[in-house]
Chains A and B, each alone.
Chain A
């Protein structure tokens, strides 16, 4: 039994609900116990770091200070929160005099994807796979902040990462090679410059199709929302038809490990994944 502190982040209460549900489901199956931080608050996200540095560091550090009280490693599913936490950690370690916080940067911060891609966890996952995802061609989409900047993420292959690919192969799926693993989807412009989001997302969907991916898999809440929810309008704008389900990696883990709630998670997608999974005989 492994125990971690858990910071869900704001999106997992709303637009990325299925990420939170599937993450908790998978953790239960792997006997990873999560202790949600009591009274956690928003990490500040893009808006804080675009507005003021101290605001960005101190809003994030407040949550890290809560985690330090618990002493456990901190699991963070949203990569935007993760990036803010790691940046705050670096700052309070290097320039403690600059910031008003009790946080000392002592707790190990784990991004959920990195956590599950660690060798010991991969072993545990392998043992639990009851329904290999054979015949499913997945494009692993890492996006920006899960790999960049590498002095924050610690990812060595930041231009061509392969850790999620390894996880997908272990689940029995076929991870496909493609060149757009770490290209930006438009991220935080999702409510403001939707024209940019549509153009960037269209290129990703088009490249996924060219690489003959059945679906894309991600660990980023903004990537999932941008790619999943706008396929219809992107199709209309660019004279194409896209029907490429966008999964959270935890959903495919749950599917391969036989979690009973998968259909509820999938019902929250706007680009329906059930049809694809039925055609591959992976869901009833």
Chain B
């Protein structure tokens, strides 16, 4: 016991042979928050084989599971994989051990948001926060308002501008938001979230 403590040092982290930081509490945290038992994974790699976005990931889904087992928290949370996962659930339905990998990806994003670790994808976390701000202030998503807020934050005004105009001409973009819905209830849902419960 004494040995483990000194190995962990003051940060609670251990260093693996290859210099990676290990957080021994990480597997338990992911297990608790997802309710999934990922220790049964035997690395058949079916999740990665069927993943439609694996080609764009820096760590494959089966590797993410392995790294979570090992407690490689920082490595996992700083990967682009957790953001690029499109939540299509192909991995989850094909896993021979019934591990809901898509749900684990959700939980990894949740942990990443509060971790202070820099996200490997710039725009995707911005999109999520702008989207949620929109719900908080308007109750519903007003697409044009959402697009504007997103572009203001990413400073990328030209991307899809021509496409946007073609959609406006076909009546696919609503110009004004609906009345605020949900009022106090929406506010209190967000208040609980912001307090971290």
> Taking beta carbons and an 8 Å cutoff, which residues of A are in contact with B?
10-11, 13-17, 39-42, 44-55, 58-59, 62, 100, 144-145, 148-150, 158-159, 183-184, 186-189, 191-194, 196, 199-200, 229-230, 233, 267-270
Contact = CB atoms under 8 A, between A and B. Distances in A.
B56 A17 contact: no
Given A40-B140, A55-B189, A193-B121, 13 more contacts: A15-B172, A41-B140, A45-B141, A47-B128, A50-B110, A50-B128, A59-B189, A149-B93, A183-B52, A184-B53, A186-B53, A191-B147, A192-B121
A100 B124 contact: no
Given A14-B173, A194-B159, A148 B90 contact: yes
Contacts of A44: 135
Top-3 shortest CB links A-B: A47-B131, A10-B141, A41-B182
A62 B86 contact: no
Contacts of A269: 170
A189 B86 contact: yes
A15 B87 contact: no
A200 B51 CA distance: 11
Nearest to B108: A50
Interface of B: 33, 52-53, 55-56, 84, 86-90, 92-93, 100, 102, 106-107, 109-110, 113, 121, 123-124, 127-129, 131-132, 134-135, 139-144, 147, 150, 159-160, 163, 166-167, 170-174, 178, 181-182, 185-186, 189-190, 192-193, 197
Given A14-B143, A54-B193, A193 B84 contact: yes
A50 to B, nearest CB: 5
23 contacts: A14-B173, A17-B171, A41-B135, A41-B186, A42-B134, A46-B87, A46-B131, A50-B109, A50-B128, A51-B129, A54-B197, A55-B193, A148-B89, A159-B93, A186-B53, A191-B160, A193-B56, A196-B53, A199-B55, A200-B53, A268-B170, A269-B170, A270-B167
B153 to A, nearest CB: 12
Contacts of B107: 53
A247 to B, nearest CB: 15
A193 B123 contact: yes
A184 B170 contact: no
A14 B109 CA distance: 29
A86 to B, nearest CB: 12
Given A47-B132, A193-B56, A230-B163, A62 B170 contact: no
Contact of A144 (B89, B100, B110, B135): B89
A143 to B, nearest CB: 8
A55 B196 CA distance: 11
Contacts of A233: 163
A149 B135 CA distance: 26
A71 B100 CA distance: 33
Of residues A14, A53, A54, A199, which shows the largest number of chain B Cβ atoms within 10 Å of its Cβ? Answer: A14
B172 A189 contact: no
Contact of A15 (B56, B135, B160, B167): B167
Nearest to B130: A47
A15 B113 contact: no
Given A45-B141, A59-B189, A268-B172, A187 B88 contact: yes
A150 B93 contact: yes
A40 B178 CA distance: 11
A189 B84 contact: yes
B139 A192 contact: no
A148 B92 contact: yes
B52 A184 contact: yes
